[in-house]
Amino acid sequence: MLPAHLAPTLSAALDQIHTEAQALFGQGHVADYIPALARVPPRQFGMAVALTDGSTFAVGDAQTPFSIQSISKLFTFVLALKTQGDALWSRVGREPSGAAFNSMVQLETEHGIPRNPFINAGALVITDILTTGYAHLDYALLGAMRRLTDDPALSWNVAVARSERETGHRNMALAYFMKSYGNFVNPPELVLDNYCRQCAIEMSCAQLAQATMFLANGGRDLGRDGSPDEHMLSPADTRRVNALLLTCGAYDAAGDFAYRIGLPVKTGVGGGIVAIAPGMGTVAVWSPELDAKGNSVLGAFALERLVQLTGWHYASA
């Protein structure tokens, strides 16, 4: 945990990162293959750090809501792990893919079993599992995330969800391909409806850092007063989730992120990235311009600079 007397140092680090990041604007592009995201103003940057002692630090556009996109896969995976336990692993793997997040190539050679829960195919299987377990998965997921953020108004962006659903032909193909191998139970159309709504959930950096605090705190969420609140996961499952985030959370750039940043992360094509420093806190950063792998250009830079300035890394937790 960061000692109280070092808080000014963290604030100064965020201010420095915010200043340095401005020079990177224009080096990426918004996710224009989703029409609603193509209209997001690109030159935005926010960053929030939440510590396990309940304190938070923020800079830039940290209170601006954005579409969390694939970061939602983290929350659906946790929900499925809680309800399914080890049975989950009969339908999805735990290995890095090394391929693009929406690739179909490995599915054929691996008989319809996605490599991990964070690529699109794996996330669709997770959503299929949850669709079987919940009559209204979209509201069950929102309920959990509203508790984690202490925000009863948290919701998804209807226009973004519709835009994704209308252009999600590859995701539909992935679902039907896995169904041909018997690894998909529900109608793909129904699962895609749920999947697009979960990806269209909007959160700010400050909310995202708070919502993932349980992964830095042995599986327990923090209440408004900073004391342990909801028990989301066991310590053992928390460790396993963080391990998967470290190896699989940044699409086919996971190895580069582990090398440069050294923290468990989950990225999203909305420009958000959340990082976990077990035992210390969480970091959420957002900037809509993406690199060729679909990860935020400024977000990756900001996380790398933060670990350089603070010394945080996974092994130190």
Q: Is 251 a catalytic residue?
A: yes
Residue whose C-alpha is closest to residue 239's, from 312, 145, 300, 317: 317
181 in a labelled binding site: no
102 in a labelled binding site: no
116 in a labelled binding site: no
Residue whose C-alpha is closest to residue 45's, from 57, 29, 32, 62: 62
Q: Which residue out of 30, 195, 265, 285 is catalytically annotated?
A: 195
d(CA 172, CA 191): 9
Q: Are 33 and 160 in contact (CB under 8 A)?
A: no
Q: Is 73 a catalytic residue?
A: yes
For residue 108, the SS3 value is helix
Residue 13 identity (one-letter amino acid): A
Provide the token pair at 100.
Answer: 């693009």
195 in a labelled binding site: yes
Q: Is 274 a catalytic residue?
A: no
Q: Which residue out of 40, 163, 191, 251 is catalytically annotated?
A: 251
Question: Long-range contacts for 150-157 (Cβ within 8 Å, ≥24 apart)?
Answer: 150/210, 150/224, 151/207, 154/201, 154/202, 154/203, 154/207, 155/201, 155/202, 156/197, 156/198, 156/200, 156/201, 156/202, 157/36, 157/67, 157/200, 157/201, 157/202
Residue 205 identity (one-letter amino acid): C
Q: Which residue out of 67, 70, 72, 97 is catalytically annotated?
A: 70
What b-and-e string marks burial along 180-204, b requiring 16 or more CB atoms within 10 Å of the CB? Answer: eeebbebebeebbbbbbbbbbbbbb
Name, in order, each residue with C-beta under 8 angstroms of 282's C-beta and a sequence gap of 6 or more: 49, 50, 209, 210, 212, 213, 215, 216, 274, 275, 276
Q: Is 269 a catalytic residue?
A: yes
Q: Which residue out of 49, 125, 160, 269 is catalytically annotated?
A: 269
The CB density around residue 81, as the number of other CB atoms within 10 Å, is 21
Q: Is 134 a catalytic residue?
A: no
The structure tokens 């900001």 sit at 302
Q: Which residue out of 73, 92, 297, 307 is catalytically annotated?
A: 73
Residue whose C-alpha is closest to residue 193's, from 174, 211, 168, 210: 168
Residues tagged in the binding site annotation: 70, 120, 164, 171, 195, 251, 269
Residues tagged in the binding site annotation for substrate: 70, 120, 164, 171, 195, 251, 269
Q: Which residues are catalytic?
A: 70, 73, 195, 251, 269
